[in-house]
Each structure stands twice: as structure tokens, then as C-alpha cells.
Amino acid sequence: MWITGLALLVDTVGREGIGQATSLADIGVTTGTVLAPTLGGLLYENAGYYSVFAISFAILAVDVFLRLVLIEKKAANAWLLAESSRREYGTIKSNSPDDGHRSNGFSSAVQKGGQSNDEGQDPLIDPGSDPEARLRSWDWIVPKTPTTLKVLKSSRIQAALYGLLVQSVVLCSLEAVLPIFLNETFGWRAQGGGLTLLAIAIPSVFAPVVGYLSDRYSPRWITGSLFMIAVPALVLLRFVQKPSMGDISLLLVSLVVLGFTVNCVMSPLIVDLTNAVEDFEQDHPEMFQKAGPYARVYGMMVFSFAAGTMLGPTLGAYIHRHADWPALALFLGLLSASEGLVALLFTDGFILSKRDKGKREAGGVVARV
């Protein structure tokens, strides 16, 4: 559902508004990822086993209903084009002085199409479908590299996918380990842990602002800055070790800063991923033909985020169990720093590449216009 939703979002808002649009979707993704386990635990504790599934089925029913009533942009454009054609061509008189009848748009379009077909080649015949020409080439014998692997060779796409993986690992490892740490250190139970996780979820309201900035300016500095800001917030968590007011204040402030960075970083990552896919398609138009690359690349994006949701709790629980809380905070800080460095180097193209610099300058002029 996420893959088709993002592909539909790009098709609807276009390249210029993808950051602000995805930021609204990111609020639901990150907030649901953080709060779902806590809310599920509270429902299970107070309302029983079946209440958890009742809420899930209700949310799925709303999602299915919205998808059924959704009108895609292609269908809407077809209706608008048909309506404008009826208004434009329905009552136009013929240009011929001898013909007093009225002509419609369909007949004129057919006549134009017939003229263009007479002048050139029949568009229904594919020039590349000649079997003799195919036998003369060796493409049918030599195995071709899958398109997905060719797309993955782009360092820009690799950087965006790695950023999504790091974001998911940081978010999900804290989601799994933080309630246990709070119970062991402060004696807080489900409600206390859930209210603490709100400190991560609430700053997601600033995601649309970051998405707007990502549409207007280069996502390189936004992505790199957010990951670098998360480093001190994560490292400071290792100093929370006793139930004192100072440690609780340090915990909450660090979680708020971390929530802002983790929740807002997905928008510039998706913006750069979308721009990278468009640039890759323009440089290699023969790879995709009729089918665009968006669904394929967004599938990789979902896979990266899903891999983080699997690795995050596993790594977090393992490090917390064998090396304790300070080691986990330090590990997550170093992981965020690695992605910050990768983002500064490869987001929006390699920073030292003259070719990518020319594309960035051209794209920046178009964005600001």
C-alpha cells in the first residue's frame, strides 16, 4: 500500500511539491511507528485482547473506503480533456467554403492523424519488432542486467536508501528498548513509557515546514544537518542513568530533539530519491519505456525502511542486553553520524562532481522560479 500510495502521490503533486506532500504522510508513518506499540499495550491492558484488533480493522476499513472513492489524476485529466474537447470542437464550422455542415473534434483529429500517417511511418508498427533485425543483434543471447540493479548503481539513490535504513533503525531500536530502560531506571510502566514516547512523536508537526524547505532548496544540507543534529541528542542519552530530575530533564530534551530530526528527515530523503529517479530516467530513457521507475524505486525505499524495522529492535535489544544502555546510545549516535556524512557527500549528486553541480544549479533555478 505504501508503494502505490507514494507513486500516486508523485503522479498527483509532481516533482515540485513532493516534499511538502510526503511530509504530511510522514507524520502518520513515524507517529504510528512510535505510538502503535504503546497504544496497543494500553488497549490490551485495559480493554482486552480483541480491542487491539478492533482498532486495527477499523483503520483498515477507513483506508479501503478512501481508496475506493479516490479519483486518480489520469482519470480526472481524461474527463477534463473530453469535456474541453466537446466544448471546443462541438460547434465549430468547417473552414471549407463549400461545406456548410458542422464538424466535430473526433473527425478532425482522425483527418489529422491520417495525414500524419500518410507522411510518415505507421505508428502502429514498431520499427524494432523486425525479426531479422533482432536476429542480427545478439541481445537475445547475452543476458541483460536487471533494471533494478542498474538503478541501484546510482550513489545518490544508495545514499537515500541508506538514510531511510538509518532512520528506521534509530526509531525502532528506541521504540523497543526505551520502555524497558525506563522501567529499569525510573520504575515507569506502560503509561509512563507511552507519555515519554510522545516526546518523539509531537515534533513531527514541523515535518511540513521541512518538506516545504526541501522543495525550495537542496535537500543535501537539510538531510545532513538533521542527521548531524541527532548525533548529540543520541550521545547525551547515555548519561541518563539514575532517577533524578536532572536525568529526566536530559532524557526529555534529548528525545524532543531526536523526534524532530527523525520525524522530519524522511521528507528531504524522499525528495532527493524522487529527483534522483527522474534524473536517472532522463539519462537512461531506454530502460523504462512505458513503465516508469517510481514504483520500482519506492519498493526499494519501503524495503529499506522495513529492514530497519527488523534490524532496529534486534540490534537495540542485543546491545542493551550485552553492553547496556550507554553503548546503545553511542552506537545509534555513530550510525546517525555516518548517514549525516553520506548525505552531505552524495545527496543531490556527488558534491565534487561537476556534472551533478550543473544539474543542481539548473534544478535550483527551476525550483525557485
Are the C-beta atoms of residues 103 and 94 closer than 8 Å to each other? yes
Give 102's strand partners. Answer: 93
What is the separation, in whole angstroms, between the first and last Cα of the chain? 34
Q: Is the pLDDT of residue 339 over 70?
A: yes
How far is Cα 32 from Cα 39, in angstroms, rounded to an integer?
10
Model pTM score? 0.70
How far is Cα 216 from Cα 212, in angstroms, rounded to an integer?
6
What was the pLDDT predicted at 96?
47
Q: Mean pLDDT across the stretch 213-242?
A: 92
How far is Cα 123 from Cα 175, in angstroms, rounded to an integer?
57
What's the maximum distance between 2 C-alpha atoms anywhere in the chain?
A: 97
**Residue 145 binned pLDDT confidence (cut-offs 50, 70, 90):** low
Are the C-beta atoms of residues 259 and 203 closer than 8 Å to each other? yes
How far is Cα 165 from Cα 339, in angstroms, rounded to an integer?
9
How far is Cα 310 from Cα 172, in angstroms, rounded to an integer?
8
Are the C-beta atoms of residues 275 and 15 closer than 8 Å to each other? yes
For all residues of the chain together, what is the average pLDDT? 76
CA torsion 257-261-262-266 (nearest 10°) is 160
What was the pLDDT predicted at 90?
55
Q: What Rg, from alpha-carbon coordinates, does the chain have?
A: 27
**Residue 2 binned pLDDT confidence (cut-offs 50, 70, 90):** low
Read off the amino acid at residue 185: T
Q: Mean pLDDT across the stretch 243-272?
A: 90
Are the C-beta atoms of residues 294 and 157 closer than 8 Å to each other? no
Q: What's the 3-state SS for 104-120?
A: CHHHHHHHHHHHHHHHC
**Residue 267 binned pLDDT confidence (cut-offs 50, 70, 90):** confident
CB neighbour class for 12 (10 Å; exposed up to 12, middle 13-18, buried from 19): middle
